Amino acid sequence: MSVPEEHLASRRSLKSRDTRWAHALAAWMARCGLTPNAISVLSVVFAAGAMGCLMVAGDQNTTAGTLGAWLGALVCIQLRLLCNLMDGMVAVEGGKGSPVGAIYNDAPDRVADVLILVGAGYSGAGDPGVVKLFHVIPMGWCCAVVSVWTAYLRVLGASLTAKHDFRGPMAKQHRMAVLSGGILIELMQHLLGWERWGILTALTVIFFGGLWTCWRRLAVMAREVEAGAKLGK
């Protein structure tokens, strides 16, 4: 089945898409009968798993349980990103695209972002520091809102200029990379018995980086719309 042009236009440029292992995995998934839309939905399942692990990590008192929860969250986030890579590759390179592929390619991502970022905020719920608690949970929600706004501006820009703007500095892959770094810091802090600040720092970077990303996309969108209006006169 051919892939609609709008789905191709909305594909993010990724270096990992050109790697041998990615092509091999996409081919294997296609042979197994996995559809791109099913892979997109599966990314939400992994995001929900990451959210659950993050909330458990913030609630656990035992070292083994906490380490397992942080590691589980890290793995689920990477699997979510892998699904994001594979759904497009199975659709395009595997020839399994569908007319509603563009919907499945984008809509589940918004749910996945919210689940992971809100979960990251609640991972601070078990921290005895009350001041930090009231900072971390709202910051998770703020990051979730900014992540949805970032994606909305990309889609809005595409509707006005016919081009998807994936510029950062805090697009989806950047948000997940920063959060993964925060989780690794939390792991180290837990092992060493240090005060926790990894997740709060990661969410702060994601929030302000996301605001900057939105500003950049808005500015570029406005310039292109104005330029198009002048050409149309």
pLDDT digits over 204-217, tens only?
999 999 999 999 99
CATH number at residue 213: 1.20.120.1760
Judging by beta carbons within 10 Å of its beta carbon (0-12, 13-18, 19+), is residue 230 exposed, middle or buried? exposed
Question: Which whole-number Å values give the CA distances from 135 to 8, 55, 121, in the listed order?
Answer: 40, 16, 9
Cα torsion 33, 38, 43, 47 to 10°: value is -120
Question: Which whole-number Å values give the CA distances from 35 to 42, 136, 220, 228, in the listed order?
Answer: 11, 37, 35, 38
Is-above-0.85 flag for pTM? yes
**Contact present, 150 and 214 (Cβ < 8 Å):** yes
Distance from C-alpha of 16 to C-alpha of 217, rounded to nearest angstrom: 24
Give 12's pLDDT tier (boundaries 50, 70, 90).
low
Give 2's pLDDT tier (boundaries 50, 70, 90).
very low
Domain of residue 168 covers 5-232
Enumerate residues 6+ apart whose C-beta is below 8 A from 26: 86, 89, 90, 93, 94
Among the ranges given (34-38, 58-62, 90-94, 229-233), the one the predictor scored with the smallest mean pLDDT: 58-62
Q: What is the mean pLDDT of residues 58-80?
A: 83
Q: 1 pLDDT exceeds 50?
A: no
Q: Which residue has the higher pLDDT, 40 or 8?
A: 40
**What's the confidence (pLDDT) of residue 95?**
78
Q: Which residue has the higher pLDDT, 98 or 218?
A: 218
Residue 171: how many CB atoms within 10 A of its CB?
20
Q: 62 pLDDT exceeds 70?
A: no
**What's the confidence (pLDDT) of residue 36?**
93
Q: 38 pLDDT exceeds 80?
A: yes
Distance from C-alpha of 232 to C-alpha of 43, rounded to nearest angstrom: 42
Give 14's pLDDT tier (boundaries 50, 70, 90).
low
Average pLDDT, the chain: 86
Distance from C-alpha of 50 to C-alpha of 71, rounded to nearest angstrom: 10
Question: How many domains does one find in the chain?
Answer: 1
Among the ranges given (58-62, 165-169, 194-198), the one the predictor scored with the smallest mean pLDDT: 58-62
Per-residue model confidence as pLDDT tens digits over 108-165? 999 999 999 999 998 875 555 544 555 778 899 999 999 999 999 999 999 998 888 9
**What's the confidence (pLDDT) of residue 75?**
97
